[in-house]
């Protein structure tokens, strides 16, 4: 299964991706997570990425496309993959089509999580992430059993540095101007799946699985 999942910041891509990854037994490739790990490890890519991420901007395409290409060529992607957070603009979408053509892979579906702007701020402000496994929590809708601790791996929960009101507004502008146009691109390719993400996670996930089956 070769899938990608897209949607506004805070739309629940990462949360759904964790479920879909185990359902389909495919690797979950999140460009955001790759960048956060690179930043934590203070690599060259991490240093470049940090300056953009902290400002709510996209990391330049040359950097991002190359990272994705290298990741998709790793052997675990032979059984499929779930791309999360890539592509984020039309040029990245074209770059992805080119990479997939070279690797002789066809995307099965592009999942588009729909959420109204008015819910996004609250979702992101209350978001907490596990520093160990990357799992996402929400202080209101998806509370950890023990405060500050990941249910699954016991890792410490933290708030992302870019999850502030100021940065969220910038990320939303980037999403609306740069990322939204890729929805039409995948619609034209005939693989778009729209899913309302303003419902319980289990419902969102089962709707995705059912719609992927119909593709």
The SS3 assignment for 66 reads: helix
CB of 156 to ligand ADP, least distance (A): 18
- Residue 98 or 215 with smaller CB distance to ligand ADP: 98
Residue 132 engages Zn ion in binding (rule: CB under 5 A): yes
The catalytically annotated residue of 13, 36, 123, 128 is: 13
- Residue 92 or 112 with smaller CB distance to ligand ADP: 92
Binding interface with ligand ADP (CB under 6 A):
9-10, 13, 31-32, 35, 52-53, 56-59, 64, 85-86, 88, 92, 162, 171
Residue 177 engages Zn ion in binding (rule: CB under 5 A): no
- Residue 146 or 177 with smaller CB distance to ligand ADP: 177
Q: Which residue is nearest to ligand ADP (CB)?
A: 32
Contact region with Zn ion (CB under 5 A), list: 33-41, 152-160, 187-195, 205-213: 152-160
Q: Site for Zn ion (CB under 5 A): how many residues?
A: 8
**Residue 123 and residue 138: Cα distance in Å, rounded?**
7
Residues near 172 by Cβ (< 8 Å), separated by ≥ 6? 8, 9, 117, 120
160 is catalytic: yes
211 is catalytic: no
- Strand ordering across the sheet containing 157-158: 136-138, 127-130, 157-158
The site partner of 32 among ligand ADP, Zn ion, none (C-beta below 5 to 8 Å per kind) is: ligand ADP
* Alpha helices, DSSP H, located in 25-53: 31-40, 44-53
Contact between 20 and 3 (Cβ < 8 Å): yes
36 is catalytic: no
CB of 116 to ligand ADP, least distance (A): 16
| DSSP class of 145 | S
**Residue 74 and residue 200: Cα distance in Å, rounded?**
33
- Residue 123 or 193 with smaller CB distance to ligand ADP: 123
123 is catalytic: no
Residue 155 engages Zn ion in binding (rule: CB under 5 A): yes
Q: Which helix (H) or strand (E) holds 25?
A: none
The site partner of 28 among ligand ADP, Zn ion, none (C-beta below 5 to 8 Å per kind) is: none
| DSSP class of 149 | B
**Residue 47 and residue 107: Cα distance in Å, rounded?**
31
Angle between helices 90-102 and 181-188 (to 10 degrees): 40
The catalytically annotated residue of 21, 55, 69, 160 is: 160
């Amino acid at each position: 299964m070769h899938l990608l999942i897209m949607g506004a910041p805070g739309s629940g891509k990462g949360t759904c991706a964790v479920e879909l990854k185990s359902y389909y037994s495919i690797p979950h490739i999140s460009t955001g997570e790759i960048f956060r790990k690179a930043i934590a490890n203070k690599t060259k890519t991490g240093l470049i990425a940090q300056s953009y991420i902290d400002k709510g901007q996209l990391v330049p395409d040359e950097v991002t496309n190359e990272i994705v290409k290298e990741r998709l060529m790793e052997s675990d992607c032979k059984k499929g993959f779930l791309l999360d957070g890539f592509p984020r603009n039309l040029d990245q979408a074209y770059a992805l089509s080119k990479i997939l053509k070279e690797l002789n892979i066809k995307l099965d579906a592009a999942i588009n999580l729909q959420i109204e702007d008015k819910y996004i701020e609250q979702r992101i402000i209350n978001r907490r992430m596990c520093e160990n496994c990357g799992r996402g929590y929400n202080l209101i809708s998806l509370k950890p059993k023990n405060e500050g601790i990941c249910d699954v791996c016991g890792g410490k929960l933290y708030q992302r540095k870019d999850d502030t009101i100021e940065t969220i507004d910038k990320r939303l502008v980037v999403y609306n101007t740069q990322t939204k146009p890729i929805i039409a691109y995948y619609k034209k390719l005939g693989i778009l799946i729209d899913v309302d993400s303003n419902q319980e996670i289990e419902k969102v996930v089962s709707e995705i699985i059912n719609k992927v089956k119909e593709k």
